[in-house]
Structure 1
Amino acid sequence: MAKATNINEVTKESWILNTFPEWGTWLNEEIENKKVKPNTFSMWWLGCTGIWLKTAEDTNILVDMWCGTGKRTHGNGMMRKGHQMQRMSGVQKMQPNLRNQPFVIDPFEVKNVDALFVSHIHSDHLDINTAAAVNKNCPDAKFYGPEQVVKIWQGWGVPAEKTVVVKPGDTVKIGKTTVKVLEGFDRTALVTEDNPDVTLKGKMPQDMNKIAVNYLFETTGGNLYHAADSHYSNMFAKHGNENKVDVALGAYGENPRGITDKLTSSDILRMAESLKTKVIIPVHYDIWTNFMTDPKEIENLWKFRKDRLQYKFKPFIWQVGGEFTYPDDKDRMEFNYDRGFSDAFSIDNDTPFPSFL
């Protein structure tokens, strides 16, 4: 939409269309133009636990890409009855889960996606905008998720023939990438309320495998473990014993009083040690204002404990919209945005500074 040149042309609609997503197609273009080297894989953080994974064979996989928001109004000030956080903590007042990060990718400009994987049923992972864009722009892409995720996709209108129900123990091939479906450990998903088949009228469902899974992406350049919203589980050690994990993503956050929903800094280190990963990357802490925390806490705790860890690894502090390439970045501790101006003064500067400056 053309930008207004007069205040009388400005409307709420023109502001929205000219402002969001805040990064426009910058990241879409960056990903599309990236040539992944042999024996590596690259990925970009899209916010929450959403990532774009790209391999040396030009295979493009989306995981948990979400383009939605949290609270947008105070409403009546009360939590929606039956909300999972209400059921978990017994709170009545509305939680202030406001979206903190900008939209770094334009879902309606996604291209060349081979597969969309979703880990579980929660709406900050399972997104109707992403589903619509991938379905329209990438007609050959398949949609992979546990049973209840697939039911929701089909309810939105995703053709059944494009969807694939997965469960722990399944293996999927996307080009030369093998995707192993592993058990998820998302106890919060067990008390979700949005699907009556899941909540079983308030009773705990008997089979988490129908609502939440973890994934291991085995690429020609290394293996990525996506833990989605899993809480800490001793089963991470089983996954680490049975699989080779190079990079792992874990849902980190500062749990509010009465809530155990995100991994703590100590949990992140325990998860990494159990998985025997080389790199652990915290995610999800970025997105909700009431769960935000500083990932430097993980780094400081790692420095305190690193000499007594059974398996050696490094934490990596990412930024939303940033790239991570394995193994090139495995020894880095932190992502920093490109500051630009590397070619300063490559042409004559015409700013009238005094010569002594």
Structure 2
Amino acid sequence: MANTVNEVSKESWILSTFPEWGTYLNEEINQEKVAEGTVSMWWLGCTGIWIKSHENTNILCDLWCGTGKRSHGDGKMKKGHQMMRMSGVEKMQPNLRTQPFVIDPFEVKDVDALVVTHIHSDHLDINTAAAVHQNCPEAKFIGPKEVVATWLKWGIPEEKTIVVAPGDEVAIKDITIIALEAFDRTALVTCEDPNEQLKGKLPQDMDKIAVNYLFETSGGSIYHAGDSHYSNLFAKHGNEHKIDVCLGAYGENPRGITDKVTSVDMLRMAESLNANVVIPVHYDIWANFMADPKEITEIWKFKKDRLHYQFKPYIWQVGGKFTYPTNKDDLEFNFYRGFDDVFSIDNDTPFPSFL
């Protein structure tokens, strides 16, 4: 740590400050002993989660270690951006990152697989890929065709990669990863060539650019919907698979935009999947899509008795742990507050009445 202002530079500040949580969460995950009959996961921001089984298998999904807007620039949207194609806007999207970095990607250990849902850069991240590749040489890189193509372009060896499409299953030690159809219409209007016109053309093949995942563990099954919008096919997935926990990309869509799942459709998703717990994610990360997840809880309360909901919502916090089934009846997460050993040793104040 610098002792004088002359020793401080922008570079020293960045290295001493970021990631904001240092290795605190890395250490917590590494030290966690998952009880038999349970599965634990941590929310890493956006749709990034870390899944850890009782058998000590570690799956990292969609961890993103990048930033949104960092300058006003020329005030214009990047030509050909999916939001521009979707809505015909020209003004810059004010998508500032609103969450701190709660995990140090370059201190990750024992990752058995990096799994990515789709091609968008806030899910498919070169920093995460580099860290897992360097720190966890045995880790597999699992994703749809175009995700794997991006990893190969970045230098991930082909033998480390596994291309999946809906219906494929991959066993990573004791965890079975099942790829399922995705319903991400924003991904369908994503195109690298800003000069290519999509109007009047057949859309891309969704199966090559995005999938949803079901992670089957000895402690329960976790459904990750990536950035999928609501789809009637959620009910098909719920018919075909036992789903304990489902995660969906929730947010408050700006005027003229449909990119995130609304509160009502988060509940519809959980009902269709026959899930026991529904957890909203992604609403935390973008300044222009911020939403209050308690809206989901309040609508659930309003409807649950009349519609006989068999699931509960869970309002998480980034960096927090959720264990199934231990926390399945909890409605909200709170961080450990500490001080449970208060007055376990003599306190040191001038006199008792000081307190």
Q: Same fold (TM over 0.5)?
A: yes
Classify the secondary structure of the residue corresponding to 1:290. Answer: helix
Matched residue count: 353
Deviations 1:28-51 (A, max 9, x none): 000000000111000000000000
Displacement of 1:142: 0.5
Paired amino acid for 1:28? N
Equivalent residues in 2 for 1:5-44, closer than 5 Å: 5-44=3-42
Equivalent residues in 2 for 1:243-282, closer than 5 Å: 243-282=241-280
Q: Is contact 1:27-1:321 (8 Å) kept?
A: yes
Asked if 1:177 corresponds to 2:145, the answer is no
Q: Greater shift after overlay, 46-55 or 339-348?
A: 339-348
The residue aligned with 2:137 is 139
Distance 2:233 2:332 in 1: 28
Q: Is contact 2:59-2:114 (8 Å) kept?
A: yes
Displacement of 1:177: 1.1
Q: 1:326 aligns with which of 306, 316, 324?
A: 324
Distance 2:224 2:322 in 1: 14
Displacement of 1:89: 1.0
| Structure 1, gaps ≥5 residues long | none
Q: Is contact 2:220-2:244 (8 Å) kept?
A: yes
Q: Is contact 1:181-1:213 (8 Å) kept?
A: yes
The residue aligned with 2:124 is 126
Classify the secondary structure of the residue corresponding to 2:287. Answer: coil
The residue aligned with 2:231 is 233
Displacement of 1:205: 2.9
Q: Is contact 2:174-2:217 (8 Å) kept?
A: yes
Q: 2:346 aligns with which of 344, 348, 352?
A: 348
Paired amino acid for 1:9? E
Classify the secondary structure of the residue corresponding to 1:144. Answer: strand
Displacement of 1:345: 1.2
Q: Give the alignment's TM-score, normalised by structure 2.
A: 0.97
Displacement of 1:342: 0.9
Q: Is contact 2:68-2:97 (8 Å) kept?
A: yes
The residue aligned with 1:291 is 289
The residue aligned with 2:56 is 58
Classify the secondary structure of the residue corresponding to 1:173. Answer: strand
Displacement of 1:356: 6.7
Q: 1:347 to 1:67 in 2, by over 3 A?
A: same
Distance 2:304 2:91 in 1: 41
**Structure 1 residue runs of 4+, over 4 Å off?**
none
Across the aligned residues of Structure 1 and Structure 2, the Cα RMSD in angstroms comes to 1.3
Q: Is contact 1:273-1:309 (8 Å) kept?
A: no
- Identical aligned pairs, as a percentage? 73
Paired amino acid for 1:186? D
Distance 2:140 2:49 in 1: 17
The residue aligned with 1:116 is 114
| Structure 2, gaps ≥5 residues long | none
Q: Give the alignment's TM-score, normalised by structure 1.
A: 0.97
Distance 1:102 1:309 in 2: 38
Q: Is contact 1:145-1:164 (8 Å) kept?
A: yes
Paired amino acid for 1:88? M
Q: Is contact 1:190-1:204 (8 Å) kept?
A: no
Displacement of 1:351: 2.4
Q: 1:232 to 1:210 in 2, by over 3 A?
A: same
